[in-house]
């Protein structure tokens, strides 16, 4: 059984989450077991959640209340982030998965909901075979050091800059 990878998708450009889901699709196609925990994001109509429902070997969880600029009380997103993190830890340590995607976890770190050290401890103690993908802008230096593969998505241009609204099937 080969050793799992630690992968970080960061940077300000588009593609961090979708690249992680592309890898989840790839793993699922090999019959591997995949778990996805999406931090921060709230109950939107995201195509990925609907699509992964059709895969028996992919488990998809979204635990959040939306990006924090929408809420006045930080204890709400904080509680969601802690709940998502507890679930992520349980899934990681269960040794039932080949791939765990922790989408937008970096955002939970920059907001101060989850500490870098907690993440490093989990990565150090995870089952050997488990690969972990962590996404979100501003990945911390310690996480970058711990990872095997780190990619920075750099925006050259984005339709949003021209005030084009988010598009179904492309942005969500």
Closest to Mg ion by CB, 51 or 93:
51
Task: Count interface residues toward ligand ATP (CB under 6 A).
Answer: 17
18 is an interface residue for ligand ATP by CB under 6 A: yes
Residue 15's binding partner out of ligand ATP, Mg ion, none, with CB under 5 to 8 Å set by partner kind? ligand ATP
Residues 85-124 that bind ligand ATP (CB under 6 A): 104
**Where do the H-state alpha helices sit in 43-125?**
47-52, 75-93, 105-110, 116-125
Smaller CB separation from ligand ATP, 17 or 131: 17
Q: Element (H or E) spanning 28, and its range?
A: helix 16-29
Q: Is 33 exposed, middle or buried (0-12, 13-18, 19+ CB in 10 A)?
A: middle
Shortest distance, CB of residue 96 to Mg ion, whole angstroms? Answer: 25
32's contact among ligand ATP, Mg ion, none, with CB below 5 to 8 A by partner kind, is: none
Q: Which of 109, 112, 99 is nearest to 144 (CA)?
A: 109
What minimum distance in Å lies between the beta carbon of 155 and ligand ATP? 4
- Given a contact cutoff of 8 angstroms between Cβ atoms, the answer to whether 38 and 64 are in contact is yes
Contact 17, 104 (CB under 8 A): yes
Interface positions with Mg ion (CB under 5 A): 16-17
Output the smallest distance, CB 167 to ligand ATP, in A: 9
Half-sphere exposure of 13 (CA within 13 A, CB side): 10
The residue within the footprint of ligand ATP, chosen from 4, 7, 17, 81 (CB under 6 A), is 17
Cβ atoms of residues 134 and 8 within 8 Å: yes
Q: Which does 71 bind (CB under 5 to 8 A by kind): ligand ATP, Mg ion, none?
A: none
Where do contacts with ligand ATP occur on this chain (CB under 6 A)?
A: 12-18, 104, 135, 137, 153, 155, 158, 160, 166, 171-172
């Amino acid at each position: 059984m080969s050793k799992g990878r630690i992968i970080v998708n960061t940077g300000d450009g588009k593609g961090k989450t979708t690249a992680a889901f592309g890898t989840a699709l790839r793993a699922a196609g090999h019959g591997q077991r995949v778990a996805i925990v999406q931090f921060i994001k709230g109950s939107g109509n995201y195509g990925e959640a609907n699509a992964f429902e059709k895969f028996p070997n992919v488990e998809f969880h979204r635990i959040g209340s939306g990006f924090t600029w929408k809420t006045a009380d930080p204890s709400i997103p904080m509680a969601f982030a802690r709940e998502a993190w507890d679930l992520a830890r349980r899934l990681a340590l269960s040794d039932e998965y080949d791939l765990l995607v922790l989408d937008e976890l970096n955002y939970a770190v920059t907001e101060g909901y989850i500490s870098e050290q907690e993440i490093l401890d989990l990565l150090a103690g995870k089952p050997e075979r488990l690969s972990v993908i962590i996404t979100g802008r501003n990945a911390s230096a310690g996480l970058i050091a711990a990872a095997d593969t780190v990619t920075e998505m750099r925006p050259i241009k984005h339709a949003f800059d021209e005030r084009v609204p988010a598009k179904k099937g492309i942005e969500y």
